[in-house]
C-alpha cells in the first residue's frame, strides 16, 4: 500500500512540474509574439515617413511648378498616428514613440502665403505637395490638404 501512494505522489509532482514548464513556455512565446507585432507596426511607420520624405525630396529636386498628390494611409495596424513635417525632417508620432526621416534643408509651408514653417499631415487625407518660388527666388515646398 505504501508503494502505490509514493507512485501517485511522484506522478502528481511530475505533472505539476510539466504543467509549470508548459505555462512558462507559453508565456515566453506570447511575449515574443507581442514584440514581433510591435516591431512590425514600427516598421510600417518608418516606411511611411521615409516615403513622405522621398516624395518631398522629389518635389524639391524637380523644380518650380512640380507637384504631386499624396494619399495618407488610414491607421497603422488600427492605431492612429500624426505626421509633422518641418524644414529638416519628417516626424511620426505613433504608439507612444517618435520616429523621423531627415530631409535636405528646405522651406516647408502649408500655403502659398508661407504661413507656417511646419505642417501636420493627418491619416486618411489627401495632400497636394508642390514646389513654389517666392519673389526673392526662395524655393518653398507647399503641403496643402486637398
Say if residues 100 and 91 touch (Cβ distance below 8 Å).
Answer: yes
- 3-state SS class at 132: strand
Instruction: State the cell numbers at 54.
Output: 522621398
Q: Is the pLDDT of residue 110 over 60?
A: yes
Q: What is the pLDDT of residues 9-37, one digit of tens each?
A: 888 888 999 999 999 898 888 888 877 77
Task: Give the pLDDT mean for 121-146.
Answer: 93
**pTM more than 0.85:** no
**Lowest mean pLDDT, pick from 32-41, 51-60, 133-142:** 32-41
The confidence score (pLDDT) of residue 9 equals 80
Question: Where in the sequence is the domain holding 125, given as residue range(s)?
Answer: 2-145
For residues 5 and 135, the model is more confident at 135
pLDDT band at 2 (very low <50, low <70, confident <90, very high): low
CA 40, CA 47: separation in Å to the nearest integer? 11
Q: Is the pLDDT of residue 57 over 60?
A: yes
pLDDT band at 111 (very low <50, low <70, confident <90, very high): confident
How many structural domains comprise the chain?
Answer: 1
Amino acid at each position: 500500500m505504501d508503494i502505490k501512494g509514493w507512485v501517485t505522489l511522484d506522478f502528481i509532482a511530475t505533472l505539476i512540474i510539466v504543467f509549470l514548464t508548459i505555462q512558462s513556455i507559453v508565456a515566453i512565446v506570447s511575449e515574443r509574439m507581442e514584440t514581433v507585432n510591435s516591431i512590425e507596426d514600427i516598421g510600417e511607420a518608418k516606411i511611411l515617413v521615409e516615403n513622405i520624405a522621398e516624395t518631398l525630396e522629389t518635389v524639391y529636386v524637380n523644380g518650380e511648378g512640380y507637384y504631386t498628390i499624396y494619399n495618407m494611409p488610414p491607421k497603422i495596424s488600427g492605431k492612429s498616428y500624426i505626421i509633422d513635417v518641418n524644414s529638416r525632417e519628417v516626424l511620426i508620432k505613433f504608439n507612444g514613440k517618435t520616429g523621423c526621416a531627415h530631409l535636405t534643408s528646405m522651406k516647408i509651408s502649408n500655403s502659398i502665403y508661407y504661413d507656417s514653417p511646419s505642417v501636420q499631415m493627418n491619416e486618411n487625407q489627401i495632400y497636394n505637395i508642390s514646389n513654389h518660388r517666392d519673389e526673392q527666388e526662395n524655393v518653398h515646398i507647399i503641403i496643402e490638404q486637398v
